[in-house]
Structure 1
C-alpha cells in the first residue's frame, strides 16, 4: 500500500502549485512589471504595517474586554444587564462595519471631542469585534451541561460563584478557538479604516498606487503583508481546535 504523504509535504506541494498557477496567469498579462517603483516607497508600506498591527492589537484588546463583559452579562440573572447586552450585540452585529466606522468618526468623535482617526478607528473595530465575541462567550457558557449549574448551586455556591469558578473555566476551552478566529477577522477588517484616512496597510497601498500608477505592484505586496499577519493566528486557531477535539486544555505540542 502506498504510504500517505505527510501534512507538511502536502502543504508545500499545494503552495508550490498555487504559486505556479499565479505565475502562469500573471506572465500571460501584457504588462510591464516594475517593482522598483514601489520598492522606493517601502517605508510607507512598513509604516502602514506597523500601524495596522497597533490598531488591530488595540481593537482586539478592547473587543475582548467588551465581549467578555457583554457575554457574561447576557447569561446573568439581571434583566437590565441581559437587555443591555442584547441591545449592544444586536446593534453592532446588525449594521455594516463600514457604516459604524463612519458614524464613529463623523458623529461620535464630534460629540466626545476626539478628532484622531486612529483612536476612532480602533474604538469602532473594538466595539464591532466585541459584539461577536460576546455571542461566542454566551454560546460557550450555555453549552456547559446544566447539571454543572445544579450541582454547584446545590452545594451552596451562589450563581455568580458558579459562573466564575465552575462554568466559565469549562466554557473557556470552547470559547478560545472562535475568539482567536475573530482576531484574524479584526486584522482584515482594519483595512476599512482607510475610508477615514487611517494610513494602515490598505491606505498605504492606495497612496503608493496613486503616486506610482503601478496598481499590480502596489496591491500584491498588500495581500502578502496581510497574509503575514493573519497566517500565524489562523494556524493557532487550527491547533486550538485540534486540542479541544483531543480533549486537551493546552495547545497540542
Structure 2
C-alpha cells in the first residue's frame, strides 16, 4: 500500500513539474490572487455541483432500478417502454438533451428553474445507463438459480425479489458507482443553461479577468476532489467483490467433491 502511494506521489510530482516547466515558457502574466478574489464564486459553484450531482444520483438510481426491473419483466409493455427509454437517452448526446429539457419540456410544464431542470436531465441520462447495468446484473445470474427457486414454488416476481436481485446487486454496485463519477463530470455541461456550478463559475472568472489558467486549473482540481473518492471506492468495491467470489468458490466446490 505504502509502495503504491509512493509511486503515485512521484509520478504526480513529475507530471506537475513537467506542466510547470511547459508553462514557464509562455509569455503570460500569472496572477493567482484572482482565485482568492473570486473564492466565493468557486465555493458556490462547488456546493451547487455537489447538490445537483447528489440529487441527480439519487433520482437516477431510482429510475435506473425501475428501468432495469422493467427490462427483465414478463410484461411486454413495461419491457418495451424501458427499452425505448434506454434507446432514446443513450442514443442522443447529453448536451442535446439539456437543450430539449430546458427549452422544451421545462416550458411545457412551466418550470423556470435551471437547477431543477439540470438535475432532472442528468438523472434521466444516468438512469438509462444504470438501467442497462441492472439488466446485465440480473441476467448474469445463472439460469439454475431461477430454476431452483421455481422448484420450491416461488413465482417469477418472488424469485427475482428474494433470490436473483440480492445476488445481482453485488455485481451492479461497482459499475453504478463508476457511473456516479461520470455524472459529476457531466454536470459541467449544465453551464450552458446558466446553472451556477463549477464550470459556470470558472467561465465567469475567465470572462471578468481574462485569466484563463487561473480560472480553469482550480476547476480541474475541484472536480478531482469530487471524483477521486468515488473512483477509489469503486476500485475497492471491485476488489472486495472479486476476493469474496474467489474465496467462496473453493468452499462451494468442496461439498461436491466429498459427495462424489
TM-score interval w.r.t. the shorter chain? over 0.9
Aligned residue pair count: 246
State which structure, 1 or 2, has the greater radius of gyration over its C-alpha atoms. Answer: 2
Shift of 1:5: 7.9
Partner of 1:209: 206
Is 1:234 aligned to 2:235, yes or no? no
Is 1:101 aligned to 2:98, yes or no? yes
Tell me the TM-score normalized by structure 2: 0.92
The answer to whether the 8 Å contact 1:38/1:214 transfers is no
The answer to whether the 8 Å contact 1:38/1:212 transfers is no
1:75 alignment partner, one of 72, 75, 95: 72
- Measured on the aligned residues, the alpha-carbon RMSD in Å equals 1.4
Runs (4 or more) in structure 1 with deviation over 3 Å come to none
Shift of 1:37: 2.4
Q: Which runs of 5+ in 2 are unaligned?
A: 247-260
Q: Which runs of 5+ in 1 are unaligned?
A: none
Partner of 1:38: 35
Partner of 1:221: 218
Residue deviations 1:57-78, cap 9 Å, x none? 0000110000000001100111
Partner of 1:13: 10
Shift of 1:38: 3.0
Partner of 2:49: 52
Partner of 1:246, secondary structure, is: helix
1:176 alignment partner, one of 173, 176, 179: 173
Partner of 2:253: none
Partner of 1:6, secondary structure, is: helix
Tell me the TM-score normalized by structure 1: 0.95
How do residues 128-207 of structure 1 correspond to structure 2 at under 5 angstroms? 128-207=125-204
Shift of 1:248: 6.2
